Amino acid sequence: MTKIAETALEQFNIKKVAIHHAEGLLAIGDIPVIIAVSSPHKILLLRPVCLRLTR
């Protein structure tokens, strides 16, 4: 997760990234991944989050 956050910070005009991936047994409907990103403009947030989820 650290490498993903570092890569996002390097490649995109974003200020901060926080990623949490749940561990252990999850039930259907549980949220396995939470990504929080901050940037000067809202539109800049969508691309890095989508790219991170596909890797």
How far, rounded to the nearest angstrom, does the alpha carbon of residue 7 sit from its chain's CA centroid? 11
Percent of the chain beyond pLDDT 90?
Answer: 15
| Nearest in space to 15 (alpha carbons), one of 37, 35, 34 | 37
Predicted confidence (pLDDT) at residue 47 exceeds the cutoff of 80: no
* Residue 25, pLDDT score: 93
Per-range mean pLDDT, top range of 9-13, 26-30, 31-35: 26-30
Sorted by where each begins, the domain ranges of the chain are: 2-53
30 has a pLDDT exceeding 80: yes
CA 18 to chain centre: 6
User: 48: pLDDT confidence band, cut at 50, 70 and 90?
Assistant: low
* pTM of the predicted structure, to 2 decimals: 0.60
More confident call, 55 vs 37? 37
For residues 49 and 39, the answer to whether their CB atoms sit within 8 Å is no
Contact present, 46 and 21 (Cβ < 8 Å): no
